[in-house]
Amino acid sequence: MPRPVSRRTFLGRAAGASLTLGLTRSAAAEQPSGATTAAASKTTTDWPVWDHRDETALIDVFRSGRWGRTAGGATKVKEFEAAWAQRMKARYCVATSSGTTALLTVFGALNIGPGDEVVLPPYTFVASFNAITTSYALPVFADTDAATFQIDPAKAAAAITTATKALLPVHIAGSPADLDALSALAKTRGITLIEDACQAPLAEWREHPVGTAGIAGCFSFQASKNLTAGEGGAILTNDESFANLCFDFHTPGGAKKSLSSGRGANFRLTEFQAALLLSQLTRLEVQAKLRDVNAAYLGELLRQIPGITPAALAAGCTRSAWHLYMFRYDATQFSGLARTKFIQLLAKERIGASTGYTSLNHASHVTALATNPHYQRLYGKTVMTNWLERNQCPVNDRIVAEAVWFPQTKLLASRSEMERIASVIATIQKRSGELVRS
Ligand SMILES: Cc1ncc(COP(=O)(O)O)c(C=O)c1O
């Protein structure tokens, strides 16, 4: 068990830390995008982690000649589906080519389309939004909870109208949104709950893995994710007929298991990706345990520093996937030192960090929907103009302005690296008066 560190011990250590803040120049600090993203450092574990077992898994598929799940005798995608369903305590899994296509498949299976509204949080990757608009449904943003950075269930309730077909909470950073409140909300309002669990493999709500609180949960195995094959995705569900609908939607041809809505696509995972995922899966729990321990320790240390507030876990969260480590940076506690400067200083100490998401609801590629001719025709110009007003999320705007993220790879480093990170931040805070002028 990690030793607790008292505030005095930790801050005392920080004061004595020998740092090169502002004194050395590093490649990380000089990269052009340094204002928002600092480079990964040598102290960050390389990602992805692989060895000869992954190579063998890929070469075996290559030599078999069975490269896709529709090839006669192909087994890897099916094997992965069974393994992922079992690991996540779900009855059914349909593997897909990405997290986006997992979401598209779920929307397709539910026949969500023009005229339907889907409520989602603004604090998410644009892919959650894209999956809704690719289905020609109307995305409606519900503001963020200030403590957890997750969708605020009260705001989600207020965003529901008679046109709302689905509620799409996103377990951002791999930490579950409040599934008690959101499940109850979906039930009482008669709408479908879909979990965007793309960042949340192994995350748990009340000791049960996420993904099956509603009709389905969607996962991503894109390159940065905690479980990755470069690209890939999966849908989990406990409903057999819904699993059949998803299966049929995601693959054209072959014997159909369900009644079609006349829609479909090819969103299949390949046998190569499945073989790699099976091999990567053997490391997932060990890596997750390390992230659990390091995140808990880092949180304990960071909470002792004035102006640093780690994102809280919602009350029923019994495990985060820690895809990101997020905290709020209050510049007023750092003598007004700008967040971008703070991140540059971290980069000089080989601590890669970023400012995270910008406000999705204000992004030009999102607000463009209001003037999209298809949307204007489908929903009417007035609805689309009002849509911009409907999507105001002031709490989220504040979080976007204050957030700092570490990537999941940081949490695979050593315990002493957690101490070093906290110590560097504590030193920046103590010396902020002088650093703000440098
Ligand atoms: C919250 C969220 N939703 C959806 C996606 C889409 O997944 P993919 O990139 O595999 O399509 C991602 C991936 O980055 C994500 O982070």
Domain assignment present for residue 122? The answer is yes
Domain count of the fold of the chain: 2
Mean pLDDT within 223-247 = 98
Ligand 1 atom closest to the CA of 101, numbered from 1:
11
196 Cβ below 6 A of ligand 1 = yes
Nearest CA to ligand 1 atom 12: 198
Crossing angle of helices 339-348 and 415-430, in 10° steps, is 130
226 Cβ below 6 A of ligand 1 = no
Mutate to test the pocket of ligand 1, among 198, 219, 269 (most ligand atoms within 8 A of CB): 198
User: How far apart are the CA of 234 and the centre of ligand 1, in A?
Assistant: 11
How high is the mean pLDDT of the chain?
A: 92
Domain, as residue range, for 223: 52-279
Q: What are phi and psi of 218, to 5 degrees?
A: -115, 135
Domain boundary among the residues 279, 311, 345 is at: 279
408 Cβ below 6 A of ligand 1 = no
Query: What pLDDT does 438 receive?
Result: 86
Tell me the per-residue pLDDT of 64-75, one tens digit each, with 9 for 90 and over. 999 999 999 999
Mutate to test the pocket of ligand 1, among 220, 225, 235, 360 (most ligand atoms within 8 A of CB): 220
Domain assignment present for residue 378? The answer is no
Q: What are phi and psi of 342, to 5 degrees?
A: -55, -45
Tell me the per-residue pLDDT of 93-122, one tens digit each, with 9 for 90 and over. 999 999 999 999 999 999 999 999 999 999
Domain assignment present for residue 188? The answer is yes
Domain assignment present for residue 229? The answer is yes
Q: Are residues 249 and 325 in the same domain?
A: no
267 Cβ below 6 A of ligand 1 = no
Q: Are residues 60 and 100 in the same domain?
A: yes
279 Cβ below 6 A of ligand 1 = no
CATH of the domain at 325: 3.90.1150.10
273 Cβ below 6 A of ligand 1 = no
21-25 long-range CB contacts below 8 Å, 24 or more apart? 21/345, 21/348, 21/349, 21/424, 21/427, 21/428, 21/431, 21/435, 22/345, 22/348, 22/435, 22/438, 24/348, 25/348
Query: What pLDDT does 31 receive?
Result: 29
CATH of the domain at 103: 3.40.640.10
Domain assignment present for residue 380? The answer is no
Domain assignment present for residue 21? The answer is yes
The three-state (H, E, C) secondary structure of 342-402, written as one string = HHHHHHHCCCCCECCCCCHHHCHHHHHHHHCHHHHHHHCHHHHHHHHHHCCCHHHHHHHHH
199 Cβ below 6 A of ligand 1 = yes
User: How far apart are the CA of 95 and the centre of ligand 1, in A?
Assistant: 14
Query: What pLDDT does 20 receive?
Result: 57
pLDDT of residue 19 exceeding 70, the answer is no
Q: Are residues 111 and 127 in the same domain?
A: yes
pTM for the model stands at 0.92
